[in-house]
């Protein structure tokens, strides 16, 4: 009789191992390890300067790590370009808007799907949205403003459009970089509802300073401090973690 084989754990959506990055003598990430399971909602928190955006930039391919590796659904993407990662299903939003303000919501969504165009040569057929894009627009609450110029949108609706632009690329892993930054309380509530209802097959990794939103949306939370992974746990565990409390109160020494 043969011994039973150990059960294999599912391939994670993201597996960061030993990532390090420095700029001259400034170490901004040091031996960072992070595993995010497929379908998980993971919050990434830390005070300003903790290394959160640097970590995102390395995962997205905008920064090359000095050391370490990045796995994406079992595929080593450490040396892949941003475009290669996007084509494999890695999507990202940014703190700074990447929208085209001079055209409509509909046209921005069409652009997100990869239609090449010049605004001065825009043809009406190019702004037709297929069923998937229309479903994305409805899911993100954009159907009533499809033909509005982006320049006329409220800030909250702009953030919804930015998220829709990334979702239009049908990502498997979505990196959200402070999606609630600059939003009013009411707009944050709308965004929180949208994020909660995203398809479960889309894995989320979110940087956010709004702790109420992070605690409400995350299955698990990772805490970066001075370029290192300081703590990980459920929302309840992180909320009760004395070391994390000390960091946010400015009392942590390491």
DSSP state of 10: P
pLDDT of res. 248: 83
Q: Is residue 131 part of a domain?
A: yes
| Range with lowest mean pLDDT among 5-19, 48-62, 205-219 | 5-19
Q: Is residue 37 part of a domain?
A: no
Q: Is residue 210 part of a domain?
A: no
Q: Could you tell me which residue, 252 or 212, shows the higher pLDDT?
A: 212
Number of structural domains (the chain) is: 1
8 Å CB contact between 14 and 71 = yes
pLDDT of res. 133: 83
pLDDT of res. 114: 61
pLDDT of res. 201: 94
Q: Is residue 183 part of a domain?
A: no
pLDDT of res. 220: 98
Q: Could you tell me which residue, 107 or 233, shows the higher pLDDT?
A: 233
Report, as an integer, the average pLDDT of 122-143: 73
Cα 182 off chain centre by: 17
Residue 170: φ, ψ to 5° = 55, 60
Residue 116 has pLDDT above 70, yes or no: no
Q: Is residue 187 part of a domain?
A: no
Residue 163 has pLDDT above 50, yes or no: yes
Max intra-chain CA distance, the chain: 73
Q: Is residue 39 part of a domain?
A: no
Which of 187, 194, 229 has its CA nearest to residue 210?
A: 187
Residues 6+ apart with CB under 8 A from 60: 82, 85, 90, 92, 175
pLDDT of res. 250: 66
What is the model's pTM? 0.85
Which of 168, 232, 219 has its CA nearest to residue 41?
A: 219
pLDDT of res. 130: 72
8 Å CB contact between 147 and 105 = yes
- pLDDT tens for 91-113 read 998 766 678 888 899 888 888 77
Average pLDDT of the chain, as a whole number: 87
Q: Is residue 103 part of a domain?
A: yes
User: Per the structure block, which two tokens stand in for 26?
Assistant: 């400034």
Q: Is residue 30 part of a domain?
A: no
pLDDT of res. 111: 82
Question: Which pLDDT band, with edges at 50, 70 and 90, does 125 fall under?
Answer: very low
Q: Can you say whether residue 245 is alpha, beta or left, with left for phi > 0 and alpha for psi between -120 and 50 degrees?
A: alpha
Report, as an integer, the average pLDDT of 28-48: 96
- pLDDT tens for 51-92 read 999 999 999 999 999 999 999 999 999 999 999 999 999 999
Q: Exposed, middle or buried by CB within 10 Å (0-12, 13-18, 19+), for 170?
A: middle
Q: In which domain, by residue range, is 107 found?
A: 94-170
Residue 6 has pLDDT above 70, yes or no: no
Q: How big is the chain by its Cα radius of gyration, in Å?
A: 20
8 Å CB contact between 191 and 159 = yes
pLDDT of res. 124: 44
pLDDT of res. 10: 85
Residue-by-residue DSSP string for 105-174: HHHHHHHHTT----GGG--GGGG---HHHHHHHHHTT-GGGTTSBGGGS-HHHHHHHHHHHHHTT--SEE
């Amino acid at each position: 009789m043969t011994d039973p084989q150990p059960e294999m754990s599912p391939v994670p959506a993201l597996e960061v191992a030993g990532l390090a990055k420095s700029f001259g003598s400034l170490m901004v990430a040091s031996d960072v390890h992070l595993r995010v399971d497929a379908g998980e909602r993971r919050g990434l928190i830390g005070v300003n300067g903790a290394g959160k955006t640097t970590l995102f930039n390395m995962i997205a391919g905008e920064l090359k790590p000095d050391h370490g590796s990045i796995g994406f659904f079992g595929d080593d993407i450490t040396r892949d370009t941003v475009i290669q990662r996007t084509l494999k299903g890695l999507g990202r939003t940014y703190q700074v808007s990447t929208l085209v303000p001079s055209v409509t919501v509909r046209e921005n969504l069409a652009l997100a799907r990869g239609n090449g165009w010049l605004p001065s040569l825009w043809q009406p057929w190019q702004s037709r949205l297929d069923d998937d894009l229309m479903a994305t627009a409805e899911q993100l609450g954009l159907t009533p403003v499809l033909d509005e110029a982006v320049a006329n949108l409220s800030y909250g609706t702009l953030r919804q459009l930015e998220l829709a632009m990334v979702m239009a690329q049908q990502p498997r892993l979505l990196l959200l970089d402070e999606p609630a930054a600059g939003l009013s309380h009411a707009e944050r509530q709308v965004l929180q509802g949208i994020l909660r209802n995203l398809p479960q097959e889309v894995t989320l990794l979110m940087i956010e300073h709004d702790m109420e939103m992070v605690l409400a949306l995350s299955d698990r939370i990772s805490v970066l401090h001075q370029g290192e992974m300081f703590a990980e746990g459920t929302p309840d565990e992180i909320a009760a973690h004395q070391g994390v409390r000390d960091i946010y109160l400015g009392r942590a020494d390491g």
